[in-house]
Chain A
Amino acid sequence: MSKLFPKSANRLPLQIVVYLVVLAGIATAGVTYYMTPKYARVGYAPLQPVPFSHAKHVQEVGLDCRYCHSNVDKSGHSNVPSSQTCMNCHSIIKANSPLLAPVRESYANNTAVPWVWIHQTPDYAYFNHAAHVNRGVSCVECHGKVNEMDTVTHTQPLSMSFCLDCHRDPASRIRKPGDVFNLNSARLVEQGEAGAKAAEKFKHDWKLMPPQSCSGCHR
């Protein structure tokens, strides 16, 4: 009697297994990549209504972060400046540059410039700027070197694990209070032996104990 399965059929099971393994691998990799905040956020650099360049304003003009983000060390979240703040200078400098039209218009009839929102945390995560900048965590840790950016780009994933990395080991991230708003400064630990000691001292002296349980960020 003729056979039901050809000889080749014997290789079939093995092949199936191999294919499955490969597929599973690809799927996992894909999910891991496309579903992590890193993918969704890092590199996000939308077009803003006004092509504002942090690089120019910080490096050339030499503005401090707090000139515009004036409440970052007082309030839970760092405010985006009102058009009034812009007009402080731009009523004189580039007073009628077409690029600044939206700002002037907004200032004139007191409407809002719809800045595109880049650094978002989820609704249920309560990040507090004041808590961080007052305790030696520099802007650069989460926002990257904004001072060198012409268009602001999302550089860190800002995922829970990202937060935890720092909360579990604050000493390795902190700066001298003076350096917090100096985005070119180095972390204490990156300043050699002394720096590392300083970091530990900082942590101990100022009782740094970042929360690692839910209530720190979720309410």
Chain B
Amino acid sequence: MKRKFDHPAPAAGEELSGPRYWRSLDELAATPGFRAQLEREFPEGASELNGFDRRNFMKLMAASFALGGVGLTGCRRPEKFILPYGKSVEGVIPGLPSYFATAMPIRKSAIPLLAETHQGRPTKLEGNPSYEPNGGAASLAAQASVLDLYDPDRAKAHTKGGVVLKAEEVSALLAAVAQKYAATQGAGLAILADESSSPTRARLVRELRAKLPRMVWSEYEPVQDEPPLAAAQAVFGAAVKPVYHFGKAKRILSIDADFLQSEAGGIAHIRGFSKGRRVTKKGDAMNRLYVAESALSLTGSMADHRLRVATSHVLALTAKLVATAYPAAESAMAPFAQGLAVDGKWIEACVADLMAHRGASVVVAGSHLPAEIHALVYGLNTVLGAIGETVTFVQAESAPGTSTLSDLAAAIKGGSVKTLFVLGGNPVYNAPADLDWSALQKSVPEVIRLGYHVDETSSLNPAATTHLAAAHYLESWGDARTHDGTVVPVQPMIQPLFGGLSQIEVLARLAGEQNVDPYALVSATIIPLAGAGAKSDKVMARFLHDGLLAGSAYRTVDVRYDTAGVQRLFGAAQPLPKLGASNLEVRFVADAKVDDGRFANNGWLQECPEPITKISWDNAILVSPKLGKELGIDPKGSLLQVARKETAEFYMGKENARVFELSVGGRRIRGPVHIQPGLADYTVVVPLGYGRTVSGRVGKGAGFSAYPLRTSAALHFVTGAKLADTGTRMFLANTQEHWSMEGRDIIREANFEPAAKPDGNSYQENPGYVRSIGMESHSPTILGEYGEKMSPQDRATKIPRGNSLYQTPAFDGHNQWGMSIDLNTCVGCNACVVACQAENNIPIVGKDQVLRGREMHWIRLDRYYSSGTIDAEAFGGAGNVELPSDPQVSLQPMTCVHCELAPCETVCPVNATVHDEEGINTMAYNRCIGTRYCANNCPYKVRRFNFFDWNQRSLDSLYMGPASEYGMPELLKMAKNPEVSVRMRGVMEKCTYCVQRVQNAKIQHKAKLMQRNQGAPISLEEIRVPDGAFKVACEQTCPAGAIVFGNILDPKSAVSQAKAREQDYAVLGYLNVRPRTTYSGKLRNPNPKMPDFNPLPFSRVEYSRKNEPAGHGHETKGDHKPAKKAPSHGSSLGAPKTGGLS
């Protein structure tokens, strides 16, 4: 259900402005604000919701009433109250969530969303399926952003020099400013804002600048996620930006571009990419991904061929590529390709492959790269005939006259700025170091800051700073454009909790608009966009209902490549920097979780492990194993190296990292060093966004800030850096201690195409390859002959005894739930982790507890490296000591797999975890006494134990027990999903297949049925929940569509189809636990013509080494070659010889 959300006048909002919200309830009960809040928060019957938080809230309230003398306490039990609306709210059915379309704006794009609200509380965000490119998926950040709304540390009032301002005072203040500068035509007024795609903001800015022509309007973003327009401007003569269609691409070359994650439009990219990657049956095509990069990005982890090359050498590489692909340009490119140490064969084979797929191949360059490279890449795409096919160019939004941060800095230096507005952003924290922004900002007499937190920028000079509390996008009206330009609404779900303002409200007041009501502002922008003649209210209704303005995407322009333009871009060729331990390249990347620091105070994101390093709550200086060795970081193994050596040093299971000082050009920062396989040998990667000095409880003190190293000249990478050991150490909360699969059959991989001389190992030759791996491959079938003959449906209900002593009772449910996870398309973006956290009220536990291994995530992403070098012997060999410098990465989402013969259930003494008739392994929290036996006996280690009262105690006083304060902040209670119990300490928890969604779907379906066929019998087919009627949280948000959940009794259901694939297998299947969640094996699609081609995926090589040391593996003849090699030479197994250049 999506509809315009009737919004009471903002006036009501003021009564519950900030601080009062925080006073004790009984005091609050007296205030009219409380009543208003009741009306908003506890509509008709809301208190009857069964959500623990709501109950608890009611108890507190009852208590407070008692104190206030309003209620009486019963003699037998405390009285609780039902507080219905005074006046009913139209369309709100207590107990049923409502869904509204909105969008999360970020930089120059936005993510269209649906918000699930419970009586006005948004609790869960999901992608908006009406926006086709994203297909209902959402990103990690989008999933987590709902928590920011309830951040107890957000700015709760407008303040001037520390004094709280009322709403009308703020309006007055802004009006005053407007007046003052109207006189000077804006001279002396400067506004610094973050980037935005909002048409309304653009419109207001235009108006404002028309009014105040001499005003300085500048925009700054520390991180770029779209290519520089300069390149397009030069070669196409137009301000256009590329939009990629990976769905159409058969061959992809990524040049230092993490297009799956950090580039704008990532969700659409993942969706397209996985479309081309998905292999459901023999004969399906599969795309091939070449990646040349310096860091190990998620995109790189998906690569079929990966080339480690320093970012400062990428220009040379690109030049070489162009020269190879377009011989005409060879002479021109030669000087730039000078001194590039990359195996020529790699480039030739790669280019040949791309050329062979003209029109179906594409080259992508990272947004952080200089314009020259983009210009060349556009050229490559032209040569490949990609333009118009796999990549289209659209008219980019451009606001002429927008000045950069440096311009603004100059203006301030010149003393021409008297009043500075800082709308969003956080320049004091993230401005380039050479600008010395703090000093500049201090020098401005009046600074007005619109910020969500009182952060570094707001608290720089409190006396002279006015801080306006910004509204969260879930509590304010606005609009935005997605990466491809589609206009989407930003619709409020709830009144501003603390009377915050949005940017457009501020700008409107400055521009002196008559009607500053944000809804009016937005509709004033949208209606014209909808085209003439459209009836305004209809337009808005439709706009808000669909959550987008149909056909509003940016205009596609066909572009002509102008070689002359390229030459204009290029200066004289520079010699390639010679990299080494004393001349390191530093690469600044936006963190996968906290981005450029904007999400630093979001607990869900902080606790979510970084997809590749698996480190939570911190960033680290990432160095390659080779550099690590040279720096003297040599983790010691165990007594006799029985398993692959860890890449990090561990102390009692905690990563005990050395703190190094990273210095470049006289600037220096300190941070823990973490060895990251897969980096270019002398490239050091430092994620931005950490080390916030002024932030909330969560963000403060997490990690270190890398901004002090950045200069305007080198925002994204710089050479000439040095690392020096400070002799100190610090713990890193690494959630995955061990990196190797140890040659086990956990993730089963095969190459897609046969090798030059076929060995029967590839998918093409043996689609059922997963069955020739693992214990099952050479043990009698666990289902028994009888069971093997059964249909999947019968197996799910009858549960064949196999060779067991016991006959399992039949599962007689109408539905039998199951899940399938496609390891081939999962890119490891971690969105599912946080989606699950939001849906299931999963608490965060803080760095200290994560260090101890007590993180609570119900779904985790296991990340394994494999290098083909593992010791064939049981223990004690050189192969185990070697660290992989250029590994293959395998990712596996791991959550409760709901075993039909669940080992956890057998051992629970109190029947707290049993099976239901529909095959779900249930967990009755209230029955659990916490013996933790189930967790011990779970082979997948997916059960999570509440060691403390995570929800009721603050994370810094967990060990104080009763001495610490009990109860969770009201704001956090509002974030909880009322459909799921909030667990107390001492109970076990785990994935429940989102049983609340399952049950509600069933009930709704049955209710409909009963009302539809009055009295007429209902067939077994009818009673089943239709496939796709609902999705579980992780499945719903997965951009790759790698997770499929549904009823396996329905042969036509998506999940049945997925499970029917030949590459479907059960992890640890030999244990005969019969998981309901099965996995589709991973495929790699290397090019046999490439120099680094390996006939088998490395993990497979390691498997064969461990399990068929002599190489007598059936089906795996190909293993002879690697297996015979000396264990200690990884590269000889086909690891790119070009790797580790400097």
Residues of A within 8 A of B (CB): 40, 44, 46, 71, 73-85, 106-117, 120-128, 130-131, 134-135, 177, 204-207, 209, 211-216, 218-219
Contacts and interface: CB of A to CB of B under 8 A. Distances in A.
A73 B86 contact: no
A213 B917 contact: yes
Contact of B95 (A77, A120, A205, A206): A77
A22 B95 CA distance: 50
B999 A120 contact: no
Given A111-B35, A123-B55, A213 B96 contact: no
17 contacts: A77-B49, A82-B84, A83-B84, A84-B85, A85-B88, A110-B87, A112-B84, A116-B82, A117-B48, A123-B50, A123-B981, A124-B52, A135-B1010, A209-B813, A214-B924, A218-B922, A219-B980
Contacts, number: 196
B1017 A206 contact: yes
Interface in B988-1007: 992, 995-996, 998-1000, 1003-1004, 1006-1007
A116 B81 contact: yes
A120 B39 CA distance: 22
A202 B87 CA distance: 40
Given A111-B39, A218-B922, A117 B981 contact: no
Interface string B59-84: 00000010000110010110111111
A8 B916 CA distance: 61
A114 B922 contact: no
A218 B94 contact: no
A130 B1007 contact: yes
B148 interface: no
A134 B85 contact: no
B81 A117 contact: yes
A177 B79 CA distance: 34
B94 A79 contact: yes
Contacts of B1110: none
Nearest to B35: A111
B80 A120 contact: yes
A60 B93 CA distance: 28
B693 interface: no
Nearest to B76: A40
B979 interface: yes
B980 to A, nearest CB: 5
A212 B924 CA distance: 13
A82 B74 CA distance: 24
Contact of A79 (B55, B74, B84, B925): B84
Given A205-B1018, A211-B916, A216 B94 contact: no
Given A79-B44, A123-B50, A123-B981, A110 B86 contact: yes
B1003 A130 contact: yes
A117 to B, nearest CB: 4
A216 B86 CA distance: 34
Given A106-B86, A116-B79, A219-B999, A76 B96 contact: yes
A125 B924 CA distance: 10
Contacts of A211: 916-917
A77 B87 contact: no
A116 B83 CA distance: 9
B999 A215 contact: yes
Contacts of A131: 1003, 1006-1007
B922 A74 contact: no
Interface residues of B, number: 71
Interface in B289-335: none
Contact of A117 (B39, B80, B999): B80
Contacts of A111: 35, 38-39, 86
Contacts of A214: 914, 916, 922-924, 927
B781 interface: no
B582 to A, nearest CB: 59
A110 B50 contact: no
A205 B56 CA distance: 41
Which of B917, B979, B999 is most buried by chain A, counting CB atoms within 10 A of its CB?
B999
A91 B753 CA distance: 79
Nearest to A219: B996
Contacts of A209: 812-814, 917
B79 to A, nearest CB: 6
Interface in B575-609: none
Contact of B922 (A73, A75, A122, A213): A213
B45 interface: yes
A74 B39 contact: no
A109 B12 CA distance: 13
A128 B74 CA distance: 26
B560 to A, nearest CB: 59
B1011 A71 contact: no
B584 to A, nearest CB: 52
A46 to B, nearest CB: 6
Nearest to A127: B50
B1015 interface: yes
B1023 interface: yes
- 10 closest A-B pairs by CB: A79-B45, A112-B83, A213-B916, A110-B86, A205-B1017, A75-B95, A82-B85, A76-B95, A214-B924, A214-B922
A213 to B, nearest CB: 4
Contacts of A112: 35, 38-39, 42, 83-86
A82 B42 CA distance: 12
A83 B85 CA distance: 7
Contacts of B1003: 76, 128, 130-131
A134 B94 contact: no
A128 B1006 CA distance: 12
Nearest to A204: B1017
Given A76-B96, A120-B80, A135 B1006 contact: yes
A166 to B, nearest CB: 16
Contacts of A205: 1017-1018
Nearest to B998: A215
A218 B925 CA distance: 8
Given A135-B1006, A206-B1018, A214-B923, A84 B88 contact: yes
B183 interface: no
B818 to A, nearest CB: 15
* Most central of B44, B65, B1023 by chain A CB within 10 Å: B44
Contacts of A109: 35, 86
A207 B914 CA distance: 23
Contacts of B35: 109-112
Interface in B807-821: 812-814
Contacts of A108: 86
Contact of B94 (A40, A44, A77, A123): A77
Nearest to B71: A114
B84 A80 contact: yes
A115 B84 contact: yes
A218 B987 CA distance: 14
Contacts of B55: 123
Contact of A74 (B65, B88, B1007): B1007
Contacts of A106: 86
Given A77-B45, A114-B71, A204-B1017, 12 more contacts: A46-B79, A71-B45, A77-B48, A82-B86, A110-B35, A112-B38, A112-B42, A115-B84, A135-B1010, A207-B1023, A209-B812, A215-B998
B240 interface: no
A214 B79 CA distance: 28
A109 B1020 CA distance: 51
B1006 A71 contact: no
Contacts of A212: 917
Interface string B767-808: 000000000000000000000000000000000000000000
A126 B50 contact: yes
A44 B77 CA distance: 10
Contacts of B944: none
Contacts of B1137: none
A215 B1023 CA distance: 18
Interface string B1008-1046: 001100110110100100000000000000000000000
B920 interface: yes
